[in-house]
């Protein structure tokens, strides 16, 4: 079971590794007040493609089970520049969270603390819409098993089709766990690590004015303009100041949340989306509902509500300037 057979089939806007219009479906339900990922029904993610008829079993794509009461779509996110994000020490993200709580508590984010599948240690999650993966290597391994159906030592367990694990006995690609390798995950990690962020677009007076407005209405409280990597054995990733326009923390987005619970991340919490390369993205927000930047800004709620309100009060010229700034990223 899988969603696509190659990374580039989803990550392709602008270039291989970019965003895309492909949506992945997640589902769940509340049972006795507790969120249920519905593993027994094939959850938490729909793998909507199957490999066909093998060994007496027709492996068909999964669907959302009728028992699910929570369904969310997640669009393909760009992977450009993620090596830089990975190279920022966890301590930096924790310091950012502390600074926000001291200086802008109403919009302060929290770090997503998760287990690193490679080491078993607690780390700060930075990757994925719910900041559910702590390292780019884990992010690659997670994509292999959940998006392409490829098991590795990092994630050795096959997803059961629609939750029916007995069907895996007919899996034609059953592999001895001792034969699993992380070699291709490492190659995928290397590619993403050394893919540079998109270059900035043209700068002019309107863009400069929009940048000032972006800061003035509080967008930079969450969309932090710059970060710096720590020491790294790869020179291109060591001590680099870069501009992702994200703090990579979780924020309570109210009605803009996806309703999905992952690890300790609640239904209204979402990781701040990086804005670099925004002009290359085909649509916006976690589910792609916004077709333009004005719609995306106006959909902000929860901890993004104050900035949304201030944006709504800008005059047409100021709004055009702010949009011009975003389109320069």
- 3-state class (DSSP) for residue 229: coil
Position 1 scores a pLDDT of 83
Average pLDDT over residues 121-146: 96
Cα(168)–Cα(153) distance, integer angstroms: 18
Its domain, for residue 228, covers 205-326
Residue 298 lies in a domain: yes
Q: Is the pLDDT of residue 108 over 70?
A: yes
Residues 121 and 169 placed together within one structural domain of the fold? yes
* Whether residue 52 has pLDDT greater than 70: yes
Q: What is the pLDDT of residue 162?
A: 96
How many structural domains compose the chain? 2
Q: Interior CA angle at 182 toward 178 and 186, to 5°?
A: 170
pLDDT digits (tens, 9 = 90+) for 277-324: 999 999 999 999 999 999 999 999 999 999 999 999 999 999 999 999
CB 70 within 8 A of CB 30: yes
State the CB neighbour count (10 A cutoff) for residue 196: 11
- The H or E element spanning position 2 is none
Q: In the predicted model, what is the mean pLDDT of residues 118-128?
A: 96
Q: Tell me the pTM.
A: 0.95
Q: 189: closest CA among 7, 12, 47?
A: 7
Average pLDDT on 211-221 reads 98
Q: 270 and 170 in one domain? A: no
Question: Which CATH number covers residue 234?
Answer: 1.10.760.10
CA distances from 235 to 140, 183, 194, 207 (A): 22, 23, 11, 32
Residues 180 and 300 reside in one and the same domain = no
- Say if residue 165 is in the same domain as residue 251: no
Last residue in a domain, options 193, 219, 236: 193
Rounded to the nearest integer, the mean pLDDT of the chain is: 94
Separation between Cα atoms, residue 103 and residue 98, nearest integer Å: 9
């Amino acid at each position: 079971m899988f969603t696509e057979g190659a990374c580039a089939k989803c990550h392709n806007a602008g270039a291989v590794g970019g965003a895309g219009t492909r949506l992945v479906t997640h589902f769940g339900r509340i049972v006795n007040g507790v969120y249920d990922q519905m593993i027994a029904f094939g959850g938490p993610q729909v793998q909507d493609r199957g490999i066909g008829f093998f060994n007496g079993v027709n492996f068909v794509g999964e669907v959302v089970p009728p028992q699910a009461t929570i369904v969310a779509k997640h669009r393909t996110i760009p992977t450009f520049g993620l090596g830089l994000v990975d190279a920022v020490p966890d301590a930096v993200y924790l310091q950012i969270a502390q600074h926000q709580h001291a200086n802008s508590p109403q919009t302060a984010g929290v770090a997503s603390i998760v287990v690193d599948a490679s080491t078993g240690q607690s780390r700060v999650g930075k990757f994925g819409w719910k900041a559910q993966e702590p390292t780019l290597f884990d992010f690659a391994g997670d994509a292999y098993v959940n998006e392409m159906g490829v098991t590795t030592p990092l994630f050795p367990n096959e997803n059961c089709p629609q939750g029916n694990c007995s069907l895996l006995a007919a899996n034609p690609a059953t592999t001895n766990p001792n034969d699993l390798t992380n070699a291709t995950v490492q190659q995928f990690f290397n590619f993403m690590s050394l893919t540079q962020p998109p270059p900035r677009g043209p700068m002019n007076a309107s863009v400069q004015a929009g940048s000032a407005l972006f800061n003035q209405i509080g967008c930079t409280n969450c969309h932090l303009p710059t970060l710096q990597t720590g020491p790294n054995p790869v020179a291109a990733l060591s001590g680099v100041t870069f501009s992702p326009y994200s703090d990579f923390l979780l924020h309570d987005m109210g009605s803009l949340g996806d309703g999905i619970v992952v690890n300790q991340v609640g239904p209204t919490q979402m990781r701040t989306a990086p804005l670099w390369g925004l002009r290359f993205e085909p649509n916006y927000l976690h589910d792609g509902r916004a077709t333009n930047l004005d719609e995306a800004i106006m959909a902000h709620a929860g901890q993004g509500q104050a900035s949304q309100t201030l944006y709504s009060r800008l005059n047409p010229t100021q709004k055009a300037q702010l949009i011009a700034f975003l389109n320069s990223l």
